[in-house]
Amino acid sequence: MDQERAEWVARRRTPTNALQKYVNYILPYGGILSSGLNLASSSIGAGIIALPSAFEASGIIMSVIYLVVIAFLTVYSFTLIGIAGQKTGLRNYEQIVRALMGNGADYWLAFCLWLLSFGAEVSYAISLKNVVTQFLDNGAGVPDYLRTIGGQRLITSMIWLVVMLPLCLPKEINSLRYFSFLAILFIIFFVICMIIHASENGLKDGMRSDLVLFQTGNKAIGGLAIFIFAFICQLNALEVYNELYRPSVLRLTLSAGVGVFLCFTLYFIAGFVGYADFGPSVASLSSLQMYNPIENPLMGVSYVGIMLKLCVGYGLHMIPVRDAIYHVVGWEVHTLAWWKHACVCTSMAALSLICGLFIPRINLVFGLVGGFSGGFIGFVYPAF
């Protein structure tokens, strides 16, 4: 089986045209960098836009502590998952849990995987709607109907149909590695725009006086679920391991380290700068609802990039959604007829769109799936 995987990866690494040959020097199929970018891309997106709210809920210093601890545990969990996959010879999260913990445990994991990933899909749909709303509400000459909630839902659904849905249909995660690279660049640009906006507005006269270092009461724990959700990328751990060139626990850990380090850096900057810029007003808002992309051209460009990132992350999170379903019904993705695969992915994507159009606040999704499913998938199961 390992020999078959090696031959398959080798074929995928062979360029079929001149452009692919040069691109493969930077992002080769199954490489550490491309795998790390895929992992980072599956985490960064809906998570990063809620970080200012998480900083406000937990306090600045406590938020930094959360970021450091969760980042370290995330990389370590990849090491544990890789060791389990190496020793059992299995390349499926649910199958490993069944082999090590017995029948039944894998179905609970499959449910947690499905819930967390489906929640992420919903959060991407909500975020896309927030971006569309900012453009429609602030744009000149926009028809009155498109400014209504019905018009916003219509435009969001059209973008979902044309861009997001097709990215849910590929069977292989590395098929999205080029999109992942571009999406990460746009996220970095968005964070830079946040810094520029803060320097010209909220931080123009120095640090605000209403920032909190340590939050108290029940509110203090509210940001933890968002931080956990933001770092969860164990969903695709074994997919990445399976497609690594010369797969090993070390290479999987290095790939995770690349992705998590990038996430940590961007999360800290986005969370702190967003909170320092707008203060307590970020408590109930995502980053996408705090800027005017029409008045600020740079932010407008970054919003377009965020839309691309949301589409890529949407496609990546469909992988664990479909895999959880395939595990329960006993299907194998590589041998499954493509039309069946397309039907499953399309139905799940459509359901997530419907939820995203009608759930008002993205933090509701993060609080539910991040604290519950994220804890089991990212830390409880790898610890066993």
pLDDT digits (tens, 9 = 90+) for 311-357: 877 887 888 888 888 878 888 887 888 888 889 999 999 999 999 89
Is the domain 43-383 a CATH 3.20.20.140 member? no
pLDDT value at residue 27: 60
Report helix, strand or coil for 141: coil
Question: What is each CA distance from 344 to 163, 173, 178, 348, in whole angstroms?
Answer: 18, 17, 25, 6
84-88, 240-244, 293-297, 363-367: the lowest-pLDDT one? 363-367
Average pLDDT of the residues of the chain: 82
pLDDT value at residue 8: 46
pLDDT value at residue 45: 67
9 pLDDT above the threshold of 60: no
pTM: 0.81
Residue partners of 171: CB distance under 8 A and separation at least 6: 333, 334, 338, 341
Return the C-alpha torsion angle 178, 334, 162, 263, nearest 10.
-40
pLDDT value at residue 352: 93
Number of H-type helices and E-type strands within the chain: 19, 0
Cβ atoms of 84 and 76 within 8 Å: the answer is no
